[in-house]
């Protein structure tokens, strides 16, 4: 039986704590990429107790894997992870830990939503409209929440191993949700990536939580808060012991619509890029996230990305620069247009997420690899970090323009190969 979690339980936040949340939330808008927030004594004590319990269980499972039925546990080469999602019996019959997870979710969720409300108020957006998109603690109606609690253990690095084996326990990635709250027993190991690409060590004082904004929050705030790339690096000099963390991921309901642009002040709204202005369903946003991010928690994800289509196909509007008329309905006209394409080539546009468009004229028999290499050279980018999508499909570089049914004026989306949760 899945324990019920009472929706709406809230921690009474002292005015000093509210002031701290407000300060850190507004600092997040200035671009540090993370917030470090002090916890109340009660919440810090609750999380510390739960963390020790999960640490013992994860260490035990590291030696003796759990029996079938504990579907929330996964062992990786450099970390162990167990996930609890409200409404789902992820911890099997492990009653004590499951009940503890329920209590942690209830208090952690209150803290995360309090912080989120301050983020919403910072850019002059109504918090009540912002919070209605979250999906955290169901009332036991059979609904499985999108938000989740994870207990993660990074074993102590081997002092005799080389530098490569002592680091990158959790590779660089971005999170899909609204906020990720991290409570850990080690002050070292966590790093965030600056917009310049430089990695910064983040020291976590005792009794504090690191809050990292996710992909959904970036879209929900129209880009005012940027999703942060982060990682865990374990080195023997700074981390002689294992690192244990309780991570709460506050996510949005998939049926929710992100459309907060109309609530921005005129001055703020004028600076918002066009790609953030229109409404979008969270489900559609998550389809796009899955199409562009390989998962750190699924080793088989990369293989599926090379051949799968994600979400519903998106037919992009062809550019006005097309030089060949639309394909006619008669076979004779189709043959004539195909012959013209063979002689003149066709016009295609490669557009990146930042709006940069590169135009090419190619032949139908041109291998896509040649087009991709030309694009990477023009943008001074490493080809290995790029993905190319057409109508929602990831393109294979060995295919030709004709095989992929790319026509004159078509648009190819260019995305960075990214890692997500």
What is the value of pTM for the model shown?
0.70
pLDDT at residue 238 tops 60 = no
- Give the CATH number of the domain where residue 344 resides: 3.10.20.90
Residues in the chain: 421
Q: Is residue 167 part of a domain?
A: yes
Q: Is residue 1 part of a domain?
A: no
Q: Please identify, among 231, 263, 278, the residue that sits at the C-terminal boundary of a domain.
A: 278
Q: Is residue 197 part of a domain?
A: yes
- Asked whether residue 175 falls in the same domain as residue 290, the answer is no
Q: Which residue has the higher pLDDT, 314 or 210?
A: 210
CA-CA-CA-CA dihedral for 120, 121, 122, 124, to nearest 10: 100
Whether the Cβ atoms of residue 209 and residue 181 lie closer than 8 Å to each other = yes
Q: Look at residue 244 and give its three-state secondary structure.
A: strand
- Asked whether residue 300 falls in the same domain as residue 216, the answer is no
Q: Is residue 26 part of a domain?
A: yes
- Give the CATH number of the domain where residue 252 resides: 2.60.120.330
Q: Is residue 175 part of a domain?
A: yes
- Asked whether residue 302 falls in the same domain as residue 397, the answer is yes
d(CA 377, CA 366): 17
Q: Which residue has the higher pLDDT, 82 or 124?
A: 82
d(CA 79, CA 55): 12
**Of 91, 361, 125, the residue nearest 265 (C-alpha):** 125
Q: Which residue has the higher pLDDT, 362 or 3?
A: 362
Q: Is residue 381 part of a domain?
A: yes
Q: Is residue 6 part of a domain?
A: no
Q: Which residue has the higher pLDDT, 410 or 327?
A: 410
Percent of the chain with pLDDT over 90: 26
- Asked whether residue 245 falls in the same domain as residue 295, the answer is no
Tell me: the pLDDT tens digits for 91-113? 555 667 888 888 888 888 889 99
Section 305-310 average pLDDT: 33
d(CA 99, CA 195): 40
- Retrieve residue 150's tokens: 């994870």
pLDDT of 355? 77
Looking up tokens 């030709």 gives 400
- Please report the sign of the dihedral spanned by the C-alpha atoms of residue 360, residue 361, residue 367, residue 370: negative
- Asked whether residue 236 falls in the same domain as residue 89, the answer is yes
Q: Which residues contact 209 (CB under 8 A, 6 or more apart)?
A: 36, 37, 39, 111, 181, 182, 183
Q: Please identify, among 278, 313, 346, the residue that sits at the C-terminal boundary of a domain.
A: 278
pLDDT of 161? 58
Q: Is residue 50 part of a domain?
A: yes
Tell me: the pLDDT tens digits for 52-78? 999 998 988 888 887 765 667 888 878
Q: Which residue has the higher pLDDT, 125 or 153?
A: 153
- Asked whether residue 224 falls in the same domain as residue 163, the answer is yes
CB-neighbour burial class of residue 293 (10 A; exposed 0-12, middle 13-18, buried 19+): buried
Q: Which residue has the higher pLDDT, 303 or 96?
A: 96
Tell me: the pLDDT tens digits for 122-142? 766 666 667 788 865 554 556
Geometric angle at alpha carbon 129, from 117 and 354, rounded to 5°: 85
- Residue 348 backbone phi and psi in degrees, to 5: -125, 155
C-alpha atoms less than 13 angstroms from C-alpha of 192 in its C-beta half-sphere = 22
pLDDT at residue 299 tops 50 = no
- Asked whether residue 204 falls in the same domain as residue 343, the answer is no
pLDDT at residue 301 tops 90 = no
Q: Which residue has the higher pLDDT, 312 or 187?
A: 187
- Asked whether residue 259 falls in the same domain as residue 317, the answer is no
Q: Which domain holds residue 268?
A: 15-278
- Asked whether residue 306 falls in the same domain as residue 231, the answer is no
- Asked whether residue 322 falls in the same domain as residue 337, the answer is yes
- Asked whether residue 105 falls in the same domain as residue 221, the answer is yes
pLDDT at residue 331 tops 70 = no
pLDDT of 169? 66
Q: Please identify, among 278, 310, 337, the residue that sits at the C-terminal boundary of a domain.
A: 278
d(CA 168, CA 146): 27
- Asked whether residue 294 falls in the same domain as residue 272, the answer is no
Looking at the 3D structure of the chain, how many domains does it have? 2
Report the chain's mean pLDDT, rounded to a whole number. Answer: 77
**Of 145, 149, 131, 153, the residue nearest 81 (C-alpha):** 153
């Amino acid at each position: 039986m899945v324990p019920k979690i009472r929706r709406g339980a809230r921690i009474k936040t002292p005015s000093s704590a509210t002031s701290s949340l407000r300060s850190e939330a507004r600092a997040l808008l200035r671009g540090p990429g993370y917030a470090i927030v002090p916890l109340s004594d009660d919440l810090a004590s609750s999380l510390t107790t739960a963390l020790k319990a999960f640490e013992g269980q994860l260490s035990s499972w590291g030696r003796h894997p759990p029996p079938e039925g504990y579907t929330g546990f996964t062992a990786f080469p450099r970390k162990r992870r167990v996930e609890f999602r409200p409404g789902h019996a992820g911890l099997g019959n492990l009653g004590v830990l499951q009940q503890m997870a329920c209590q942690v979710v209830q208090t952690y969720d209150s803290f995360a939503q309090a912080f989120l409300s301050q983020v919403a108020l910072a850019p002059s957006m109504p918090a009540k409209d912002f919070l209605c998109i979250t999906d955290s603690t169901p009332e036991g109606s059979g609904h499985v929440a999108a938000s989740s609690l994870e207990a993660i253990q990074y074993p102590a690095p081997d002092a005799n191993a080389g530098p490569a084996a002592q680091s990158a326990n959790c590779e660089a990635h971005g999170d899909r949700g609204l906020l990720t709250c991290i409570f850990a027993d080690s002050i070292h190991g966590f790093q965030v990536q600056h917009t310049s690409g430089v990695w910064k060590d983040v020291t976590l004082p005792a009794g504090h939580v690191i809050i990292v904004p996710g992909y959904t929050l970036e879209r929900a705030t129209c880009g005012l808060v940027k999703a942060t790339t982060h990682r865990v690096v374990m080195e023997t000099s700074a981390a002689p012991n294992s690192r244990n963390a309780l991570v709460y991921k506050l996510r949005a309901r998939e049926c929710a619509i992100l459309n907060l642009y109309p609530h921005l002040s005129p001055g703020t709204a004028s600076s918002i890029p066009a790609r953030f202005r229109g409404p979008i369903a969270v489900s559609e946003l998550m389809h796009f996230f899955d199409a562009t991010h390989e998962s750190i928690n699924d080793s088989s994800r990369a293989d599926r990305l090379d051949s799968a289509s994600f979400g519903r196909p998106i037919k992009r509007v062809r550019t006005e620069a097309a030089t060949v008329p639309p394909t006619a309905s008669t076979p004779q006209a189709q043959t004539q247009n195909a012959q013209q394409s063979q002689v003149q080539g066709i016009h295609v546009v490669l557009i990146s997420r930042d709006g940069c468009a590169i135009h090419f004229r190619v032949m139908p028999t041109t291998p896509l690899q040649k087009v991709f290499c030309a694009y990477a050279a023009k943008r001074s980018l490493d080809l290995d970090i790029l993905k190319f999508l057409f109508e929602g499909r990831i393109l294979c570089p060995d295919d030709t323009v004709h095989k992929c049914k790319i026509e004159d004026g078509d648009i190819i989306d260019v995305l960075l190969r990214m890692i997500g949760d």
